[in-house]
Amino acid sequence: FSRGLAEVLPIEALCLFTPHELEVLICGEAEIDIKLLQQATVYEDVDPNAPHVQYFWQALEEMTQEQLARFINFVCARSRLPSSVDKFPMSFKIQSAGSVKEGQDDMALPKSQTCFFSLALPKYSSKEICLSKLLYAADNCNTMEDYDEHEAGAFA
């Protein structure tokens, strides 16, 4: 580990940081800050004041830190956020779910594109439905971490 780290950071510089500071620099904050995520969010083909978008933010507020980490993993294949808005490599994008049939939004699951840090959010009719669908998707999705080396060969 230290040899690899020494390739990108002078080992002598490590003494400048506490273990916690170094962890935050490398991994990001362990606690998911929803307000920070909101600041880093852009909206595509969806009104940020629309009821289903407000249900989304309310649903996140009800999640535990463990559930939030799984949600973040669902949308960006990481379990932590950067420590500030300026350190996000790209904005979090909330998009219209698009092709959901009229009146079927409450049956649809949200979809994510981890490479683009985006979420296609159906027009859920309540915070409770939104929360349940977000948790189901986050708990049952396959991410890059779910593939072993043999399965990864299929992507080469």
Catalytic residue numbers read 115
Nearest to 74 by CA among 145, 125, 143: 143
